[in-house]
Amino acid sequence: MSAGTPDRSRRARKRAKRHVETTQFDAFARRILRAYARRVAEGDVEALRSLAGLSSEVDAVTRLAVAGLRKSPYSYSWSEIADRLGVSRQAAQMRYGDRTARGALDRRLLDAGLAVSVATLVQVFADHFPGVPAASVCPGCGYRFPDQVLDCPTNATVRPLLRRRRGEDPDAVARLTCEQQESLLKAHSRRITRAARRAGTEPPTTPAYQARSLFDPAGKDALS
């Protein structure tokens, strides 16, 4: 009995799980995605929907990863997580925090109220910008965009106000990327989107437009 123990020990060592670095996992996942895209590109049009749906899966598993990093024994702060994601602390918390916060107005707007600065509006707009090409969910709050809608409730609120006030702080506005500035000034932003209606801040359609939000007490947000 005892003579066989060393053999079992050797077999156990041989079966020991090989440690794989996270970077190797990352490279493997990227290879799989590229291979999947090639398969679809070779004529499998029916799989296109499933391929596109992987973006929501990535968002979901990223949220799980963030939740794990936030818990003990790691207890990473939102600032540390945001730094790795390349976004602001508020944006990281809104997107990956409690589900009830997703799609809600950015806390920075609510905290500042009527005193909100152009610099804050610029940062909020940038954090919630869907990107080019547009993502399927808002990178700032996790809001899932309906068809033909590219503003989450936060940017539906910020967009008309920032357009009107952009001349107050040109240096702050200049921090937006070319794509973000183009999006801010596009004529299509006049459209009343479903996101704007949900936010309760419809863009004006007549000169008699009345205030509908905390940020437009005088009803002056009509776009020229």
Contact 43, 55 (CB under 8 A): no
- pLDDT for res 42: 94
| Confidence tier at 158 by pLDDT (50, 70, 90) | very high
For residue 9, the model assigns a pLDDT of 59
pLDDT average, residue stretch 46-56: 85
Window from 33-37, 127-131, 168-172, 205-209 with minimum mean pLDDT? 205-209
Angle subtended at Cα 14 by Cα 8 and Cα 16, rounded to the nearest 5 degrees = 105
Give 17-28 as a DSSP string: PPP--HHHHHHH
Residue type at 47 in one-letter notation? A
Q: What is the pLDDT of residue 54?
A: 85
Q: What pLDDT shows up at residue 100?
A: 60
Residue in 202, 216, 198, 214 with CA at minimum distance from that of residue 104: 198
CA 162 from chain centre, in angstroms, equals: 20
Q: What b/e sequence results for 51-85 when a residue is b if at least 16 CB atoms lie within 10 Å of its CB, and e otherwise?
A: eeeeeeeebeeebeebeeebeeeeeeebeebbeeb
Q: Mean of the pLDDT values across residues 194-203?
A: 45
Asked if residue 38 has pLDDT above 80, the reply is: yes
Do the Cβ atoms of 95 and 152 come closer than 8 Å?
Answer: no
119 falls in which pLDDT band (50, 70, 90)? very high
Residues 6+ apart with CB under 8 A from 215: 109, 113, 114, 116, 157, 161, 201, 221
